[in-house]
Amino acid sequence: MSRLGFATDTRAGLSDRVRQHFGRRAAGYEAQALLQQAMACRLGHLCRDLPLPTGPRADLGAGSGLLSRALPVQGLLQLDLCPELLERNPLQPRLVWDLNDGLPPALRGAAMLVSGFALQWLDDPSGQLAHWCRALATGGWLALAVPTAGSFPQWHRAAAAAGVPCTALELPQADRLIHAAAGAGLRLHHSRVLRFSRPRQGGLPTLRHLRRLGAGASRRPPLSAGELRRLLAQWPVEEPLTCEVLLLVGHRDPTARP
């Protein structure tokens, strides 16, 4: 394992690696998840006074419950792959579940599905988002925050300049997610891509932050020590790392096909 903790068994699937990384860092997750908390507050504001139909409600990839606690909605099933994070979630009910397997049958005809910073970890984000939209009851609501492909251009450029693979997680395109949701019958009420930047810290502090957050899993094998040194030598220390996040809120159109 590398000192940064990004090494793992590359024979394991991404779901296993995500669970292991977040499980090891569950105790300190909320102290590091400042952007996640900020987006939870924004979604909470956007979800005020929604006319929810009858039906089940769930937070998909709920983790420690940051998003559900920010929402003016009660009784959301707390669903997550990582049992260590769910153990730190004060809300009930809770269910350990891999969203790559779709949704539990109990969520068919959902009145509300919400998700914060979870969709990007799935094997087919656009396909799963469409599945979530189709699982909604007529008039049911979906609220989502997810990092998208415009994130971390500084990391990608540094890797290209160093001649090493970029081990940043491949993130979904915002426009593809919007298209998938609309195509699955979601009438969009709010759809906006926001951009944020971290302080100018350089590559090593950035990678360490992701490690502390538990967000170091990747579909690519970890860099060797030599490759990591070359990457850090090319990292633009004076340029802040930027991140792109899609906020999406909508309801299932009554005219949409099942």
**50 inside domain:** yes
- Mapping DSSP to helix (H, G, I), strand (E, B) and coil, where does residue 251 land? strand
User: In this model, does residue 119 exceed pLDDT 70?
Assistant: yes
Burial class (CB in 10 A: 0-12, 13-18, 19+), 2: middle
The CATH number assigned to the domain holding 98 equals 3.40.50.150
Does residue 94 belong to any structural domain of this protein?
A: yes
Confirm whether 151 is domain-assigned. Answer: yes
Write out pLDDT tens, residues 193-231. 999 987 777 888 888 888 888 888 888 899 999 999 999
Residue 6: inside a domain: no
**Whole-number mean pLDDT of the chain?**
91
Q: How confident is the model at residue 256 (pLDDT cuts 50, 70, 90)?
A: low
Instruction: Summarize pLDDT for 2-53 with one digit per residue, the tens.
Output: 444 343 444 358 889 999 999 899 899 999 999 999 999 999 999 999 999 9
Q: Which two tokens stand for residue 95?
A: 């269910």
Sheet with 186-197, strands from edge to edge, namely 94-96, 77-80, 57-60, 110-116, 136-147, 242-252, 186-197
Parent domain of 159: 14-252
Q: In this structure, is residue 45 part of a structural domain?
A: yes
* End-to-end CA gap in the chain: 47
Structural domains counted in the chain:
1
Q: Is residue 7 part of a domain?
A: no
What 8-state DSSP symbol labels residue 65? T
Q: Look at 4 and 129; give whichever has higher pLDDT.
A: 129
In a domain, 43, yes or no: yes
Q: Between β-strands 94-96 and 77-80, what pairing exists: parallel, antiparallel or unpaired?
A: parallel
Question: What are the backbone dihedrals phi and psi of residue 106, each rounded to the nearest 5 degrees, phi first?
Answer: -65, -15
